[in-house]
Chain A
């Protein structure tokens, strides 16, 4: 059969067919890995089974059934009274914690006592079952691992390379060997299980080899893929931390945390044991009851007389899909014994004990943290949560969490629906509020239209404010938020400035040309007379500070955009139109490679301004 978590889980729930269950029984005897996995599954089922019970009193049940209309108001509750029912004769022989009737004093009593009964021996199909061998001469300890597997750090569910669970567990009735790394070479594999039945009719007494036992369990296993393992562990650690943060909502006065993350005593005194007078720490302790001692189950040593060779254990997450083609040991035992020259060892139809021996002794809560002084400190995932050292006090999120809890309580179904987090709605509301505030604020300071700006600036610049003298105090108009125009360019003090023109205002600059002449560098500014009235525009030329810039300032001349860039190698290296120019002015700035002497004059009725740089 193949090692499968699905098979083990179904086997634990007794949902397998008898034949299949017998195969699992036989497989469990020789497969330590499956024994360990079954022990884990039993432990997890036990944890869930021991969750606290809720009891509904008779008046509450009557109110509920009346509310939904199953009972009339004056109708009696069906059935016998819940808490005063007579104890049956069968239950009198059982201890109270194994009886079917829970009570207020025993809220943890199991409701299904059948699940606590010892597991009966599996029924093996008659065509596969050999006659029972004579009892072995020596009864030794059952073939379980001596050490408690749950106290070890076996990487049973290693996140490294853990595939999706629901995909890797597929029921398959036929053994199929697809993964060769899990394949085990066992002689006699090719034989059909039902072939050597005749040889099993007269078995030899088993040979007892008490010194042999299962190999020691591995302590830790390296992950399969280093990169994938790290990513998986980071993902799991993040998920755990988020879950713990979500779980801190349980720090409610009406919900008491007795252990684990959020326990108040641990947070206060992380290093020492708790005092007895700690009021907030009420450890839930199971009442000490006289427990029946489990009877040791006789197990034939011959059933595990196979010599266990040291083997490498794969993580248990691999048992979901990988196959382990293990033939039926019992059916092939005579052939192998004959080949080896030793007497055959026949199986005993007995259930192999799990790594966790069924015990009725009162065990501590598995989720409790040992508070003894010598106990190891909590792991790295819990240090920040338990010790509270990961976050400074001024950054406490407790008020926000309290607000979130209040919000979540007022909502419905809120905490009842898994996967629906009310904090998402709080976050969405906060984002919406910020968006609204931003829209309203941005609307008040947004840039108005250009026409309004022009009219406003024109009015403020040319029209004086008319103050009407009245006796009553005038209301001071609140200045509206208008965009402030950038400051106009300020001309520096020019050296060698001289002015041309007669103050004509109908001219505009059409373009600027550059030319290299023998002995000088010429700049020609083409002007256009829009009305033909004649005259010449007023222009002032001068050298700026440092002697590396020539400024040409026109009065009442319309510019035509940025001037053309002069060719390289000349005296003028660059030309720009200063924006914004002073009111009524048009100023060009020519960068000079070196200082030069400026001479300028108008040509052709002031349609050209010629500037010579020597």
Chain B
């Protein structure tokens, strides 16, 4: 796996002789270092895995999706890591969960019928308590993906509407509507099945 740190922009002497032909990679000076992204990821890793676990209802799948999301975020890191780092991570993880992207990717097609054992992630997490099914998770299971994601992002991960808008790829107003609708539907379902 290649290191994602960008090399600093250095204008070589031969480039200075032809300034019009030089293309300065501005992003190289703006993009964060991999160490900073790793620190941000470590800071929010528990919350990310918790969010993904309750989003897809399986801890092992959640780890795969979180890994895929972090890998995507490392390939396309946000410019303002301290400001948008958390939202970028949640956005990548949400997209990975929605699209079923795993890392390392699993084989597709008939090849998967001949694979041996599980090729899942070797990362161990402590998800014993989160794996237990209860009424709250049953009610969450009945929500749509977007509403479930909105509910978890707001009430479990603690993101504000601006960050949620970046994660869910919609406007803050739509985020507010989504959260309100998700709470209402969740409450109706919970009261229905919890007697």
Query: Which residue numbers of A lie inside 8 Å of B, CB to CB?
Result: 5-6, 8-10, 13, 15, 40-41, 43-45, 47-49, 51-57, 59-61, 63-65, 67-72, 77-79, 82, 102, 104, 107-108, 111-112, 114-115, 156-157, 159, 165-166, 169-171, 236, 239-240, 243-244, 246-247, 250, 254-262, 284, 317, 365-367, 369, 378-379, 381-382, 412-419
Contact = CB atoms under 8 A, between A and B. Distances in A.
B101 to A, nearest CB: 8
Contact of A417 (B100, B136, B154): B100
Interface residues of B, number: 92
Given A60-B125, A243-B142, A415-B56, A257 B49 contact: no
Contact of B179 (A9, A157, A260, A419): A9
Chain B residues touching A, majority SS? helix
B42 A57 contact: no
B45 interface: yes
Interface in B145-195: 145, 148, 151-152, 154-156, 158, 160-161, 173, 176-181, 183-195
B151 to A, nearest CB: 6
Interface string B14-47: 0000000000000000000011011101110111
A532 to B, nearest CB: 75
Contact of A54 (B53, B61, B112): B53
B3 interface: yes
B100 A419 contact: no
Contact of A48 (B103, B173, B186, B191): B186
Contact of B131 (A47, A72, A156, A254): A254
Contacts of B184: 5, 157, 165, 317
A150 B165 CA distance: 31
Contacts of A247: 133, 138, 141
Chain A residues touching B, majority SS? loop
A244 B138 contact: yes
A54 B60 CA distance: 11
- Which of B41, B99, B135 counts the most A-chain CB atoms under 10 A from its CB? B135
A166 B1 CA distance: 44
B180 A70 contact: no
B192 A381 contact: yes
A169 B136 contact: no
Given A6-B180, A15-B161, A52 B144 contact: no
Contacts of B122: 63
Given A63-B122, A169-B177, 8 more contacts: A40-B187, A107-B126, A114-B158, A166-B178, A243-B189, A255-B132, A255-B133, A367-B136
Given A53-B46, A65-B41, A418 B144 contact: yes
Contact of A56 (B35, B49, B138): B49
A419 B56 CA distance: 11
B48 to A, nearest CB: 9
- Which of A5, A82, A247, A369 counts the most B-chain CB atoms under 10 A from its CB? A247
B127 interface: yes
Nearest to B39: A78
B8 interface: no
Contacts of A369: 194-195
Contact of A165 (B39, B155, B173, B180): B180
Given A157-B191, A243-B141, A416-B97, A111 B134 contact: no
- Which of A55, A70, A159 counts the most B-chain CB atoms under 10 A from its CB? A70
A229 to B, nearest CB: 14
Given A53-B50, A412-B106, A65 B38 contact: yes
A54 B56 contact: no
B184 to A, nearest CB: 6
Contacts of B106: 412
A54 B132 contact: no
Contact of B100 (A169, A258, A379, A412): A412
Nearest to A12: B183
